[in-house]
Amino acid sequence: MFSEQSGKTECPVCSESPPYKKTMTKIIELKDITKIYQIGNISVKALNGVSLDIHKGEFVAIMGHSGSGKSTLLHILGLLDKPTSGSHVLAGNEVSKLSDDQLASFRNKFLGFVFQSFNLLSRVSAKENVELPLVYADSTANAGNSVKLLEKVGLGERIQHKPNELSGGQQQRVAIARSLINNPLLILADEPTGNLDTKSAAEIINLLKELNNSGITIVMVTHEPDLAEAANRIIKLQDGKVISDEKIGRQNIQENNSESFYAQESKIHKAAGFKRVKDYFGQAIRALVSNKTRSALSILGVLIGVTCLIAMMALGRGAQDSVKERISSLGSNLLMVRIDSHRGGVSLGSSSPTRFTIKDSEEIRALPDIARVAPYVNGNAQVVYQNKNTNASIVGTTIDYIDIKNSPAKTGRFFTPEETVSRQKVAIIGKTVKDAIFGDQNPIGEFIKIKGIDFMVIGMLPVKGTSGWRDMDNQIIIPLNTAMYRVFGKEYIDNMEVQVTEASLMERAETKITKLLIALHRLPKEKEEEIDIRNMAEIQETISATMNVFSYLLGSIAFVSLLVGGIGIMNIMLVSVTERTREIGLRKAIGANNDDILFQFVIEAIFVCLLGGLMGILLGTGISLIFAKVAGWATKVTFSSVALAFTFSFFVGLIFGLWPARKASKLSPIDALRYE
């Protein structure tokens, strides 16, 4: 299956040479290696002064009884564990004092692992399992070798099969192909036939012998003498010491020298590279798909939070815009001037001696800071058109009403100053009045009766909506003089609205108007309080502030929901880390460093949150539309709320996924591989 080549080591299926120019006699040199484990207050010496060399091309079998230290020795040889003391030289480099990330880089470049329990990822195919070490490799030169390797180990027809679709022997063949993908200097096999039947075990041993014959160095841990006979060197351990080192059969040792690779090959790869992040996303998607229920629950937590956030912010923003629209219909920079007929809690009614006149409004209009003045006469009356009638609010005013109330006629026209002076019987009606007596008919040019007096409809008011209990569209505007002398028989106006030229002049204008009215009506000191001037800007600001508080309250409730979802994600990610501990150990064994593991789990958390966030945005938008269509509520989904929800989803994933990811990244590779 594999051919024997002398003089150099290269991938059995590749024409390219490995990333080193010369082979070396000694791949591994161990001197006085000691490993002590601390179990509570007890120190256990697993290795006690082990010294040995492993040459290129050897097939070494390490044997010993349980507890002899053979597995510990293999883990140190494979850079999965660090010795307590002693010297460990790999490919001419002292590695016993290297950092975790440097050791990860060496494992990826120089070593291949074959585990007793195979350690294949169940959610991906045989081909993707073989390619897994390439995720953490700097070079992509071996990217096309996975299929060739699987064909060489006899799995050419099983390339796309997942591990649960393969027999034990086939799974171990996949693991062997994976160990070869980066052209390693050394393959380390830990009880490679321990979980296999006799036939499969024999096939795997024959495969390892063929690999060795092709020039690949192999170190195998086994407790079975029959399997050890396949090696050309047997090392026996007892109580952490080498008790025998026997060379048997033909030796396949290469006698070439080599320079150190340390300066070139110990470079730590960047975990945040574009290609690697892309691979992380692919791994994250597979992990989520393989645990559909858990992933769905994680997404559901974020989805609910974002849905609440979008719907509540849409509701709050819609209410704000609705209120602002109604406030704008009241006009800007307005002062409401009226007589307070409830001084001291007692209504003075019509007996109050102070009354505003048209002359008062004209005098106020003449003040320097005043832009417009709209005097009002108000009352209710029955309105009749043919055989239909309704009750409506009748408002008599002047043409300044258009600008003060921002209410030009929607259709038709407004009355002119001349029509006001000549007391013309013309009317502009609101939508509610129009619907009540005209229905779908065009009212312009039609005549209605107000208190038995015929009025011609010349226009329609813009829609204002309701304000509390008051329907702003259930009113009719008529000329001031017509209202006073023809409809209500009044000589006085009820109140007036004054528009100031600038908002900064509101207080000064209020003071001037008060002084003017006191002077015009010669009010004594005790009656000056009858003049009631209200600053509409302050009322508008109060309403706006109240609506802002309302929106913040709704938003905070949604944020709490999203935070609860984030906590749920953190819990599920912690469970995921626990469940995938052996996978983390595998990834570290094939070259993943701490940052790789950190990035992968953080990206998984962020991906879950972003997916839940996108679904929540769509659902929240849909609910907002339902509120608007069915319930008639004012809602508005804004880009800022969508961006906020999306950004917050990202940070929820980042923050709540960081701790579980950091916990995963700090796991020791050997402890993770041993996890049950």
Q: Do 661 and 551 share a domain, yes or no?
A: yes
Does residue 459 register a pLDDT over 90? yes
Widest CA span in the chain: 130
Residue 146: CA atoms inside 13 Å, Cβ hemisphere, count?
A: 20
Does residue 88 register a pLDDT over 50? yes
Query: Domain of 650?
Result: 284-325+542-674
Q: What does the pLDDT read at residue 23?
A: 42
Cut 0.75: pTM above it: no
Which secondary-structure segment (H or E) carries 13? none
Kindly state the average pLDDT of the residues 538-565.
Answer: 71
- Of 228, 244, 269, which residue is a domain's last? 269
Residue-wise burial string across 261-292, b where 16 or more C-beta atoms lie within 10 A, e elsewhere: bbeebbeebebeeeebeebbeebbeebbeebe
Q: Do 156 and 62 share a domain, yes or no?
A: yes
Name the most confidently modeled range: 101-105, 234-238, 263-267: 234-238
CATH, residue 248: 3.40.50.300
Q: For the chain, how are helix, strand and coil distributed in percent, rounded to 5?
A: 45, 20, 30
Q: Is residue 91 part of a domain?
A: no
Q: How confident is the model at residue 454 (pLDDT cuts 50, 70, 90)?
A: very high
Radius of gyration of the chain (CA): 44
Q: Do 639 and 662 share a domain, yes or no?
A: yes
Q: How confident is the model at residue 199 (pLDDT cuts 50, 70, 90)?
A: confident
Does residue 279 register a pLDDT over 80? no
**Three-state secondary-structure class, residue 459:** strand
> Nearest to residue 88, comparing CAs of 71, 101, 75, 69?
75
Q: What does the pLDDT read at residue 122?
A: 85
Q: What does the pLDDT read at residue 416?
A: 93
- Of the two residues 274 and 419, the one the predictor is more confident about is 419
Q: 319-377, pLDDT tens digit by residue?
A: 767 766 666 555 567 888 988 765 444 444 444 557 889 999 999 999 988 999 999 99
* C-alpha torsion 346→347→353→359, nearest 10: 130
Cα 57 → chain centroid: 52
Handedness of CA 500, 501, 503, 504 (dihedral sign): negative
Q: 623-649, pLDDT tens digit by residue?
A: 888 888 887 777 888 888 888 888 888
Q: Do 600 and 466 share a domain, yes or no?
A: no
Q: Do 321 and 372 share a domain, yes or no?
A: no
| β 59-63/233-238 pair status | parallel
Q: 243-261, pLDDT tens digit by residue?
A: 998 888 655 555 444 444 3
Q: Do 498 and 588 share a domain, yes or no?
A: no
Q: Do 493 and 581 share a domain, yes or no?
A: no
Q: What is the mean pLDDT of the chain?
A: 82
Q: What does the pLDDT read at residue 140?
A: 67
The rounded distance, in Å, linking the Cα atoms of 104 and 24 is 22
Q: Is residue 301 part of a domain?
A: yes
The structure tokens 């007589």 sit at: 339
Quickly count: other Cβ atoms within 10 Å of residue 240's Cβ: 23
Q: Is residue 452 part of a domain?
A: yes
Number of domains in the chain: 3
Q: What does the pLDDT read at residue 219?
A: 93
Q: Do 263 and 289 share a domain, yes or no?
A: no
The rounded distance, in Å, linking the Cα atoms of 69 and 240 is 5
Residue 375 DSSP symbol: E
Q: 14-47, pLDDT tens digit by residue?
A: 434 444 334 447 889 999 999 998 877 888 888 9
Q: Is residue 442 part of a domain?
A: yes
Q: Do 291 and 376 share a domain, yes or no?
A: no
Q: Is residue 4 part of a domain?
A: no
Q: Is residue 18 part of a domain?
A: no
Q: Do 412 and 445 share a domain, yes or no?
A: yes
> Nearest to residue 381, comparing CAs of 421, 427, 423?
427
Cα 394 → chain centroid: 55
Q: 375-415, pLDDT tens digit by residue?
A: 999 999 999 999 999 999 999 999 999 888 888 888 999 99
Range from 155-164, 506-515, 564-573, 662-671 carrying the lowest mean pLDDT: 564-573
Residue 394 dihedral angles phi and psi, to the nearest 5°: -100, 125
Contacts of 652 (CB under 8 A, 6+ apart): 302, 305, 562, 563, 565, 566, 569, 609
Helices (H) and strands (E) in the chain, counts: 21, 22
Q: Is residue 16 part of a domain?
A: no
Amino acid at residue number 256:
N
The structure tokens 């052209």 sit at: 183
The rounded distance, in Å, linking the Cα atoms of 598 and 297 is 22
Q: Do 191 and 226 share a domain, yes or no?
A: yes
- Of the two residues 272 and 365, the one the predictor is more confident about is 365
- Of the two residues 224 and 562, the one the predictor is more confident about is 224
Q: Is residue 93 part of a domain?
A: no
**Three-state secondary-structure class, residue 425:** coil
- Of the two residues 636 and 54, the one the predictor is more confident about is 54
Q: Do 103 and 223 share a domain, yes or no?
A: yes
Does residue 291 register a pLDDT over 90? no
- Of the two residues 318 and 119, the one the predictor is more confident about is 119
